[in-house]
Each structure stands twice: as C-alpha cells, then as structure tokens.
Amino acid sequence: MSEFSSAGLIVRLNDRKVADTLHQIHSSLEQRGMQVLLDHSTRGLIGGPLTVGIEEIGQRCDVAIVIGGDGTLLHAARELVDYGVPLVGVNRGRLGFLVDVSPDGELAALDEILAGNYLAEERYLLDIRVCRAGGDIHRAYAFNDIVLRIRDMLRIVEFETYINASFVNTQRADGIIVSTPSGSTAYSLSNGGPIVNPSLDAIVLQPICPHTLSSRPLVVDADSEIEIRIVDKNIDNGQLISDGQIYMDVRTEDTIRVCRKAERIRLLHPSDYNYFQILRAKLNWG
C-alpha cells in the first residue's frame, strides 16, 4: 500500500504554460485512487474542482506536488514547513536546482516517487526578524536567502555584523546576502559566494560589492544567531528581501536577527537524484 493517499497540487500563479502538466498529473493521481486538493494557484487552469488555500493542503495532504520553477517551490516551502508535508518539484521553470522531476517521459519519475521509490532530503529555512525600538516589526522565513539593500537606487549601506553576540565587523557595501546551503547556488553564487552542499548545516554571509578588497564570504555554523545592525545615518529606504519574494522595509538603527528555523522541509527526489549531476547540468560544467 502506498504511503501517499492524498496530494496537493501547487503551480506558478497565473501561468498557463503549466496547464497541460497540471492536467496530466491531476488525471494520473485520480487514476491512482488518490484524493487530490488543488491550491488556489491552479484556479482558471483546470476546470471543475474547487480550489483550497495552501494551509488546507498542509493540514490534509500526505504530499505536495509543486509544478513550476524554483521560485514556486520556495513559496510552497515557506508556507508548508510548519505542517511537515514533503514536497516534490516538477520542473516547468528555467534553472531548476530544486524542482528536479522532468515533465518529459510521461512523468515516470513522479510515479516512482509516489510508489515509494525516492530519495528523501531535509533542508532548513532561515527565521528572520526585523527589530525596531525593542520590538519586532517584521517576521519571515527564507528557504534560499535574505538580502539587505537600499531600495530603488544603487548606493552603499553601512552595517555591523554580530555572530552569537560577538562583533564581527563593520562593512560598507551595496548590501549583504545571508544564505542557506540551498541558496548558495542562487544570488550568493552570482555574487561570488561559495557553493555549499545542502547536507551541511551552515550559513553563508556574502557582502554585495564590498568597499574593501579584504572582505570575503563568511561561512558559519547553522546554529549561529546572526545580527545585522544598520548604522548608516539617515537611511529610511532600506529593504530586506526574503527569497526574492517577500519585501520588508528597514531603516537606520533597525536590527535584523537571523537564525535557523527549527522545523525543516522534506524534499522527495527521484531515486537516481545526484546533487553533483545537477550542478554539472545547471552550471554547464564539463
């Protein structure tokens, strides 16, 4: 008997390019006798069934199938991490570091996963709080990274970094990226950061275009508590971005506190999944 009796389907919002794949997977799941819940993101792409909020998928489903690109999976991971629902990513995007089931080949890899033939992997998320005048004004999670920058213009911001309450340095840079291993192949990589294997419990602190040649990426234990304090004077248009999708306003004297979230997200990969093969394919290595 399969361990999966119910599945939720989540897609990239308002993207008709995923409609055919959505229909194909929906029909396949029903033929397997599974209960299928459609997220609100599928509305208008498939006729008939009612759609539900993603929290209901978290409460009622054994697995969530995400159809789209990495950005779609990032959103689903943040929303479902507290429910313990495993995710399967079907790649209908471009790069696809996280969504590794191809829609080609009649989705044979998805059938194998649902039959119990898969590799399971746990990834952690960042828990972010923005503090002002002693209280939290913003709270968010990040699967890939957070980015501190100045909104709507290119200018340097000055900030202090603390690790476990110990002062590390003061930097002047275009901003800073705080990344999980999952996010090390995203914005951090394009900014010259290291590739960190997802099996490592580490956090990458990557300054963006720092105004000194001695500034380098810093990799710390994932149990570390990180504080970034904006010390630049008269900054009222700072911005903190989670996974490129959640935008939070910050300003002078705000403190950004980052730690690892206790709950992890579980990803289900095809049984032949190989992280280094993914790197070779996506980064055009020889």
Q: 70 an active-site residue?
A: yes
- CATH of residue 29's domain is 3.40.50.10330
Residue 279 lies in a domain: no
Shared domain check, 40 and 100: yes
Give the residue-averaged pLDDT of 229-237. 92
- CATH of residue 143's domain is 2.60.200.30
Residue 8 has pLDDT above 90, yes or no: yes
Residue range of the domain that includes 85: 6-116
User: In Å, what is the CA distance from 96 to each residue of 93, 128, 169?
Assistant: 6, 25, 35
Shared domain check, 207 and 148: yes
Give the residue-averaged pLDDT of 91-99. 79
Residue 39 lies in a domain: yes
Mean per-residue pLDDT over the chain, rounded? 93
Shared domain check, 138 and 30: no
> Among residues 57, 90, 116, which one ends one of the domains?
116
What is the DSSP code string of 224-256? --EEEEE--TT---EEEEETTTEEEEE-TT-EE
Shared domain check, 254 and 146: yes
* Residue where the block lists tokens 């911001």: 157
Residue 137 lies in a domain: yes
> Among residues 116, 138, 165, which one ends one of the domains?
116
Strand partners, 11: 67
Determine the Cα–Cα distance for residues 208 and 191; give it in Å rounded to an integer.
7
Instruction: Please state, for a pLDDT cut of 90, what percent of the chain lies above it.
Output: 81
Residue 254 lies in a domain: yes
Q: Which two tokens stand for residue 191?
A: 């900014």
Give the residue-averaged pLDDT of 20-26. 93
Residue 177 lies in a domain: yes
Shared domain check, 251 and 155: yes
Residue 78 lies in a domain: yes
Q: What is the pTM of this model?
A: 0.94
> Among residues 116, 147, 163, which one ends one of the domains?
116
Shared domain check, 176 and 154: yes
User: Residue 40 carries which DSSP code?
Assistant: G
Name, in order, each residue with C-beta under 8 angstroms of 226's C-beta and a sequence gap of 6 or more. Answer: 161, 162, 163, 178, 203, 205, 220, 257, 258, 259
Shared domain check, 232 and 143: yes
Shared domain check, 63 and 133: no
Shared domain check, 235 and 185: yes
Counted domains in the chain:
2
Please, are residues 161 and 177 in contact by the beta-carbon 8 Å criterion? Answer: no
Residue 29: pLDDT band with limits 50, 70, 90: very high
Q: What pLDDT was estimated at residue 95?
A: 65
> Which residue type is seen at 66?
V
Shared domain check, 196 and 156: yes
- The 3-class SS string of 74-121 reads HHHHHHHHHHCCCEEEEECCCCCCCCCECCCHHHHHHHHHHCCCEEEE
Shared domain check, 70 and 33: yes
Residue 282 lies in a domain: no
In tens, the pLDDT along 153-169 reads 888 999 999 999 999 99
- Residue of 15, 39, 70, 243 marked active site: 70
Residue 276 lies in a domain: no
Determine the Cα–Cα distance for residues 181 and 145; give it in Å rounded to an integer.
9
Shared domain check, 254 and 138: yes
Residue 107: pLDDT band with limits 50, 70, 90: confident
The two beta strands, 63-68 and 87-91, are parallel
Give the residue-averaged pLDDT of 11-39. 92
Residue 286: pLDDT band with limits 50, 70, 90: confident
User: In Å, what is the CA distance from 156 to each residue of 151, 159, 173, 200, 261?
Assistant: 11, 10, 5, 32, 30
Determine the Cα–Cα distance for residues 136 and 256; give it in Å rounded to an integer.
10
Q: Which two tokens stand for residue 35?
A: 């209960």
Strand partners, 247: 241
